[in-house]
Structure 1
């Protein structure tokens, strides 16, 4: 029986960790969490916010996830969209999920990210 989702993993090309840290920590407000010493030599970086974890691994033949994506639930989605737009992110609004406000953007390596907030709070 599955009891929870532990983390989401995205990929990135080698050497982009600093750009990813700036985006996920400074722009999205997540906290970087240390990778276990056994995994650290592989590169990449891990982030958390509340119970949500997002891991980014390095792939030499990287292709951004354009359709597959994590859905990140936020509070005050309009303020969140404004914060991202102020920092140069492209915001693509989508009204097609009943009962939610949502938008999509991309991280610095082109991975698609969805942000959503239920209308009932």
Structure 2
């Protein structure tokens, strides 16, 4: 049997690295970390304090969905400390979101999209 230690990283395809970096740094507040010298552009970010990472990879082909936020579509989730403060921040930054404060999951959820329409769930303890 495989013994899991946790998720190491999630990789997302982006089309405009500088635009994506601005979103992940300025909106989500992620900290960029060192990335090996691959022969293609990208950026790596630390998430939280337990070694999880987000990897952005530039891809020249089709990268994203064409419709709006669909909470049942593929996504990754980041746990946030304060649901209300996160909503306030998203409003301040004029970021479209779908909020589900009373989710049957037992934790409050907020869904957003990055500039390439990758869906991100931000969730908080209820």
TM-score, normalised by the number of residues in structure 1 = 0.85
Find the counterpart in structure 2 of residue 49 from structure 1: 47
1-structure distance, mates of 2:96, 2:30: 19
Which ranges of structure 2 fall in alignment gaps of 5 or more residues?
Answer: none
The equivalences for 1:87-98 within 5 A come to 87-94=93-100, 95-98=102-105
Q: CA deviation at 1:47?
A: 1.0
Q: Deviations over 1:65-98 (max 9, x none)?
A: 6611111111002111211221121010123333
Aligned position for 1:75: 81
Alignment-derived partner of residue 20 in structure 2: 20
Name the CA distance, whole Å, in 2 between partners of 1:118 and 1:97. Answer: 12
Contact 1:11 1:62 in 2 (8 A): no
Aligned residues: 115
